Amino acid sequence: MTEIVPQPLTAAAFAPFGEVIETAGAEERLINNGSTIRYHGLAGVDVAAGGGRPLISIFRGQPFALPIEIAMMERHPLGSQAFYPLSGRPWLVVVAKDAAGRPGDPLAFLAQGDQGVNYAPGVWHHPLLSLDGTSDFLIVDREGPGSNLEEVPYRQSFRISRLEGRD
């Protein structure tokens, strides 16, 4: 089994797969007569393909303990999918580039409790990987006609046994 070590989640490292959702470095706009700061344009929702519409949900993820086996990936070809943590806990983001219609070798990112991601349409990713306790996530994704879920098992699993800076 091949070992993968998560790297810190940064906008630059994650750019091939979508957008990092975080307030650090975001455009700030003062609204509501100065009583509110709006962190503007953190991610784009892309769900209109095939008659889709945006849907907001909350997912409650059960925590995973190390080692974590990465045996499959999924993708949503008709729309983006955004995850933003509501519980303030770190979590894992695992993605892969496309390799002729299958997920390539995975890359793992350690997201902090104030960082979310917006997977671009068609990006291979692992289902939600909560750490350190049951965690809620705000999800913005697509609802509508058409097949918007592909799941593919890896021929050989990968493993995450350690998290840099958390051992």
Q: How many domains does the chain have?
A: 1
What would the pLDDT profile of 123-161 be if each residue is shown by its tens digit? 999 999 999 999 999 999 999 999 999 999 999 999 999
Residue 165 located in a structural domain: no
Residue 101 located in a structural domain: yes
Residue 167 located in a structural domain: no
Residue 114 located in a structural domain: yes
The residue assigned the tokens 């049951």 is 134
Residue 145 located in a structural domain: yes
The CATH number of residue 153's host domain is 2.60.120.480
Q: Using an 8 Å Cβ cutoff, are 103 and 77 in contact?
A: no
Residue 164: pLDDT band with limits 50, 70, 90: confident
Write down the pTM of the prediction.
Answer: 0.94
Residue 166 located in a structural domain: no
Residue-range definition of the domain harbouring residue 66: 2-160
128 DSSP assignment = P
- pLDDT above 80 (res 166): no
